[in-house]
Structure 1
Amino acid sequence: MADRGTTKSKQQRSLPALALAATGVVFGDIATSPLYSLQQAFGEQGVQPSHDNVLGVLSLCLYALLMVVTGKYVLIVMRADNHGEGGMMALGALARGAMRGRGRLTGLTILLGLCGAALFFGDSVITPSISVLSAVEGLQLATPAFKAWVLPIAIMILAGLFLLQRSGSSLIGRVFGPLMMVWLLSIAALGVSAIVQHPGVFRAANPQYAVLYMAHNGFKGFASLGAIVLVLTGAEALYADIGHFGTKPIRLSWLCLALPALLLNYFGQGALLLAQPGNSGTPFYRMVPHALLYPMVALATCATVIASQAVVSGTFSMVRQGIQLGYLPRARILHTSKDMEGQIYLPAVNMLLCAAVMASVLIFRSSQRLAGAYGIAVSGTMLITTILLLLVATRRWRWGVLKLVGFGVLFGVIDGAFFIANLLKLPEGGWFPLLLAAATMVIMTTWRRGRMMVLQRLHAKGEKLDELIRETIKRCPLRAEGTAVFLTRSARWAPQALLQNLRHNQVLHGRNILLHVDDDGDAPRVKSDRRSEVKDLGEGFYWIRLRFGFNERIDVPAGLEALDFEPALNGEELTYFIGNDKITAERKDRIWRWRKSLFIYLYRNAQPAVLYYGIPAPRLVEIGTKIDL
């Protein structure tokens, strides 16, 4: 998941303070899973809540949390930090770097990383919907009259969540940690109160019950893994947020608070089902004393809003990374905090995400039906994480064969079983996140392919840079005072804006800077010694490269002013020349017609480069070129 920023560096904050902050930001999703996980396992289409089945499901939940979340993510995956950053994009960049120069394997690694990011977008739609719905559904236990109001109340809460995104989450972020701690302690207390009445539930710690459960229930038991995986939702967040909190605070918060609280609550729900099998429809809220039902619903709603806020912020960060890696069109990015780089807001993404979330609520209308759509995105992301980590472990960590095979077989089987079990739920709603992921993949691959075709067309009718400089010396065009900056995508080819300016105006500036803005796809941030590269090409021409990581804000004027250049590049004296290309689709080769139309639509609606690169409009000259794909 993603970048949510911190007000201070990790070194300036104590371990307990970071652990508390991590509790609020990192564990929002996984901490609200008890609202719907066991409900789905023993619901209308789940297994019967018999004594052995309850102990078997609890045993599976226990070892899923211990092996997948604690063993795989907390102890192993969190070691794969990309310059201190985590998440699917960071892991994909590490794997891509590890497989660089391996031909088709490099391309497959990139494609796999994109699939993981696309599944994350599907997860981002389902998480707010199922979390808020499951919290509000507790009102039905107070009185059946609330049943008709569950959907409208959930829609109003979700609408408010997306309306508040413009103001940023720094204010609510200050209460994330304490509120989530109260939630975890509350669900732990509920679990203890139920366990005291039926302590025999602890027999589920024996893994034999999990084995017997799978053996006795056969295919239905395997299919129920699609519900078991719901206890793992949000596991990716533990890895995604290491850049903000570090590994120690997250591990401390997980091992000392989140994991014990979740296990106590799940075992408490199991104890309730052992005593009252008829309450399998809503086991979480059945543990709550009637007098505390309304406060618990309110607390659960707050917790689910935190979980939803975290995934929405993560989506904004993921989209920004996709833009800077060249897989998504430029979009308007607003920074909502002066102190926190990760606090960003993307209006277009917020609108699309809101529409998709509302559609999912109206289509499925209950948390139980949404649960059928949820697991496939979660299990798919976990499986891709395992594959990418194997690539990193092979090439970067230099694991031995036995270690690689052991890790690959163990977690490949676990993640693969979860994913296949969720594929069985395609007719029940599993198609929804896959449809969202497929649409995201089409957009990303179309944009990438379209941009490559545009470059090919430009170079086909372009001029090599060294030849242009030689011809310029011969023609001796008029020279205007000042410095011109031409944005270029290649160190070999002259930018079209420069060619058009020479062709039509027959004039050059005294200094001409050919600027290439490089989005470093392998690092979230670029070190100062790698930020820039300058080459003097002679005759007043300079080639400059500015590098920005995929988690950094791109500010071209500031980058140029920071250069050691003589005389210094004053932003008020620079004139920027940018090509404003007009794209048409009259050709019928290389790419399907509908994908050309999609690319043209995305291109026309992308944020102008002048805004994306932070270029001041008064210093900008745009020169148009027609390109036929």
Structure 2
Amino acid sequence: MPGHGAGVGNPVRLALIVGALGVVFGDIGTSPIYTLQTVFDPHDPHPVPVSTDNVFGVVSLVFWSVMIIVTVTYVLLAMRADHDGEGGIMALITLLRRSSAPRGRRVALVLAALGIFGASLFFGDSMITPAISVLSSVEGLEVVQPSLERLVVPITAVIIIGLFLVQRHGTAVVGRMFGPVMIVWFTAIGACGIAGITRHPQILKALSPTYALGFLFGHFGTAFFALAAVVLAVTGAEALYADMGHFGRRAITRAWLLLVFPACILSYFGQGALILDDPANISSPFFLLVPGWGRLPMVLLATAATVIASQAVITGAFSVTSQAAQLGYLPRLRITHTSESTIGQIYVPWINWLLMVSVLTLVFAFRSSTALAFAFGMAVTGTITITTLLFFYVARVKWRTPWWLISLGAVPLLIIDLLFVAANLTKLVHGAWLPLLIALTAFTVMTTWQRGRHIVTAERERHEGALRVFVDDLAAGKPPTLKVPGTAVFLNRGKHTAPLAMRANVEHNHVRHEHVVVLSIQTEPVPRLAEGERISVDNLGHGDDGITHVTARYGYMENPNVPAALASVDPADTEGRLDLDQASYFLSKIDLRVGDQPSMALWRKHLFIATSYITADAAEYFGLPRDRTVIMGSHIEV
């Protein structure tokens, strides 16, 4: 894992912390803009009355929610469950697959499906975050000049369009500025929070959990509905875990504990003090906390911070899409690497434009951050609950943690998580349905693709036949074929079946190349593989006949490059016969058709075939030279 073992004074550690501030904490760091405003929103169907007791209760509830969910669940617990340094729901799913005993396989499969639903919720999050974040910052213009209210939505739309248009250029240059900007942001909101607290220092009493518990149990009806907005304070918590592979657990933990957590809490307490001073300040407590002369600069700084928050979640959507495709839950999509030095910086055009259209639709449909807030909360609570559940299962099966200790941690944390979920479900008709619909759609697409892929693979293997039998027949002269000079590389799904393109070339054209490589790409359930583990060679018992099978292994966070993989093959394994500079590459293209087999429901068959149309061009995906790539087709019914 990057950064492990570095000392506090190590400049690399400092660079990692600054980098983490720019990428990891944008979402959770901009939550103070809209959280308390949403809690006390008078237009809420279940409004929280503004009173001294309620302000103390809400601020205390926000503090302890952040403490328990972010600091305890994620920083202290979940981030210890890494998979080769990588975190996030996809890493937990992989740990489930590898750690489960055979008798627990069914439970692991159910939990893995739940994890896929959690990843699906993230797609909803990646649509809602840019909309609510940028809207909330631009709404600060209303505080500076109320007459600018009508410009909020158009300005937001322009910023969002610009944000998505620059994605294809990569964020390497802008990314170096993210960390310093966020340092200024957290310093500013912390300072404003301190200024607010000096007006009513007694607000610091809300640090005591008795105020949160008193509000929750003394005014349960009000507090329960307030939870649907309080959860906004922990939006972005999943990013701490998901981005762990880029910065390391220690860098993220230190950035959180030393700067982000204190700054956010100071802002919440300052806003609470401001509301105590004048209940009318609930209209925009975050921006009203800023002195009049600093409000326009704060709007600009908030806009920059929310763009950074949006950038982080968009990048996260690209990464989740890439990982899901590598693990077989989505078709391979065209992926562009936007940085030669940073592996994780990728651009997925199809996802980028889908997100842009979705975000703009949300902005024009909801038109305010408070209207979007309940939709946002549902996505967050669902993801947090699933992460907590998967973590404790992994803790039990992988680390053999005693049941009594599991119960001691899991029961209270899951009760808190489920309380937040229940509160957000009460907002179902007010927007909470949206992330559930998005997640259900993404989940259906991913599980349908995985199921259809298994069906097609089984049917394809039946058509292809055994590779060793096919090679044995070739060696025996059945059917008679003409050897032509050169090297042919046939891409195949595995080493047990004959590539359809190779079989068609032999059976219909009656020719084969002098040197043949059957190449299989294998995605391992690890993020990345060392180069020494990437290639394995098998001469199939006919090494002297020029036919070799090569397996190229990649981690689920890597993108395969076939020519580069073949170039790393030891010449001794192929007797130095491969001429890669002039090699021809053969791909088997499958035309999918709806069949009569009861393999899937008819609507799922149509969905699977429709999804296959967004599959990236195989030659581009595998890095093949187009002028030397031959595509041969076949059709399969599903």
TM-score, normalised to structure 1's length?
A: 0.96
In 1, the alpha carbon distance for the partners of 2:514 and 2:426 equals 67
Aligned pair partner of 1:332 in 331, 334, 358: 334
1:16 to 14, 17, 20: 14
Q: Name the structure 1 match of 2:56.
A: 55
Hey, what does 2:626 align to over in structure 1?
Answer: 617
Contact 1:486 1:513 in 2 (8 A): yes
Q: 1:229 aligns with which of 231, 245, 262?
A: 231
Q: Secondary structure, in 3 states, of the residue corresponding to 2:513?
A: strand
The equivalent residue for 1:502 is 506
Contact 2:487 2:579 in 1 (8 A): no
Ranges in structure 2 where 5+ consecutive residues have no aligned partner: none
Offset at residue 160 of structure 1 (A): 0.9
Query: Equivalents in 1 of 2:108, 2:496: separation in Å?
Result: 24
CA offsets 1:130-182 (integer angstroms, 9 cap, x no match): 00111111111222211111111111111111111121111211111111011
CA distance in 2, matches of 1:75, 1:624: 52
The one-letter amino acid paired with 2:82 is D
Q: Please give the alpha-carbon distance, in whole angstroms, between the structure 2 residues aligned to 1:149 and 1:395.
A: 54
Per the alignment, residue 420 of structure 2 pairs with 418
Structure-to-structure mapping, 1:462-473, within 5 angstroms: 462-473=464-475
After superposition, the C-alpha distances for 1:208-233 in whole angstroms (9 at most, x for unaligned) are: 11111112322331121111111001
The Cα of 1:246 is off from its aligned counterpart by 1.2
Q: Distance in 2 between matches of 1:100 and 1:324?
A: 24
Report whether the alignment pairs 1:37 with 2:35.
Answer: yes
For 1:225-264, list aligned pairs within 5 A: 225-264=227-266
Cα offset, 1:315, TM superposition? 0.9
| Aligned partner (choices 518, 524, 527) of residue 524 of structure 1 | 527
Distance between the aligned counterparts of 1:171 and 1:490, measured in 2?
Answer: 40
Q: Which residue of 2 is the match for residue 345 of structure 1? A: 347
Residues 1:575 and 2:573 aligned together: no
Aligned to 1:156: 158
1:314 Cα shift? 1.0
Query: Number of matched residues?
Result: 624
Q: CA deviation at 1:486?
A: 1.7
For residue 486 of structure 2, the aligned residue among 479, 482, 501 is 482
Q: Secondary structure at the match of 1:534?
A: strand
Where 1:563 maps in the other structure, the secondary structure is coil
Comparing 66-75 with 583-592, greater Cα deviation is found at 583-592
Which of the numbers 566, 569, 572 marks the counterpart of 1:563? 569
In the TM superposition, what are the counterparts of 1:80-119 in structure 2 within 5 Å?
A: 80-99=81-100, 101=102, 102-119=104-121
In structure 2, what is the Cα distance between the partners aligned to 1:10 and 1:444? 39
Q: 2:145 and 2:513 mapped to 1: Cα distance?
A: 77
2:605 maps to 1:607: no
2:40 equivalent to 1:25: no
Alpha-carbon distance, 1:109 to partner: 3.0
CA distance in structure 1 between the partners assigned to 2:481 and 2:50 by the alignment: 86
What is the deviation of 1:91?
A: 2.0
Using the alignment, how far apart are the partners of 1:269 and 1:288 within structure 2?
A: 10
Distance 1:65 1:103 in 2: 34
**What is the Cα deviation at residue 17 of structure 1?**
2.1
Answer yes or no: is 1:513 the counterpart of 2:514: no
For 1:201, which of 174, 192, 203 is the aligned residue? 203
CA distance, structure 2, for counterparts of residue 183 and residue 485 of structure 1: 54
User: Is contact 1:332-1:607 (8 Å) kept?
Assistant: yes
> Which one of 185, 190, 193 corresponds to residue 191 of structure 1?
193
Q: Which amino acid aligns with 2:534?
A: R
Q: Which residue of 1 aligns with 2:68?
A: 67
1:301 and 1:354 map into 2 onto residues whose CA distance is: 18
Shift of 1:481: 2.5
2-side partners of 1:569 and 1:562: how far apart? 12
Aligned to 1:538: 541
Distance 1:515 1:481 in 2: 19
Shift of 1:56: 0.9
Preserved contact between residue 138 and residue 297 of structure 1 (Cα < 8 Å): yes
Who is 1:438 aligned against? 440
State the secondary structure of the residue aligned to 1:75. Answer: helix
AA in 1 matched with 2:318: F
1:69 maps to a residue whose letter is V
Mean alpha-carbon deviation: is it higher for 568-577 or for 178-187? Answer: 568-577
CA distance in 2, matches of 1:110, 1:527: 27
The 3-state SS of whatever aligns with 1:482 is strand
Q: Deviations over 1:575-608 (max 9, x none)?
A: 2221111111142622222222222222233112
Task: Classify the secondary structure of the residue corresponding to 2:22.
Answer: helix
Equivalent positions of 1:368-383 (< 5 A) are: 368-383=370-385
The whole-number CA distance in structure 2 between the counterparts of 1:625 and 1:164 is 39
Q: Is residue 196–residue 289 contact of structure 2 (8 Å, CA) maintained in 1?
A: yes
CA distance in 1: counterparts of 2:122 and 2:20, whole angstroms: 20
The residue type equivalent to 1:554 in the other structure is P
For residues 551 and 391 of structure 2, what CA distance do their matches in structure 1 show? 31
| Counterpart amino acid of residue 291 in structure 2 | P
Matching of residue 493 in structure 1 with residue 494 in structure 2: no
Structure 1 unaligned residues grouped into runs of 5+ = none
8 Å Cα contact 1:58-1:266 kept in structure 2: yes
CA distance in 2, matches of 1:86, 1:50: 42
Q: Does 1:303 align with 2:309?
A: no
The separation in 1 between residues aligned to 2:533 and 2:597, in whole angstroms, is: 42
What is the CA distance between 1:70 and its match in structure 2? Answer: 1.1
Is contact 1:10–1:245 with CA below 8 Å preserved after alignment? Answer: no
Contact 1:10–1:244 (8 Å) recurs in 2: no
Aligned equivalents of 1:506, 1:166: Cα separation in 2: 45
Q: Give the 3-state SS of the residue equivalent to 2:540 in structure 1.
A: strand
Q: What's the secondary structure of 2:334's corresponding residue?
A: coil
CA contact (8 A) 1:96 1:109 kept: no
Amino acid of the structure 2 residue aligned with 1:535: D
Shift in CA distance, 349/389, structure 1 to aligned 2, threshold 3 Å: same
Return the alpha-carbon distance in structure 1 between the equivalents of residues 95 and 123 of structure 2.
Answer: 21
Partners of 2:540 and 2:339 in 1: how far apart? Answer: 41
What is the SS of the residue equivalent to 1:571? coil
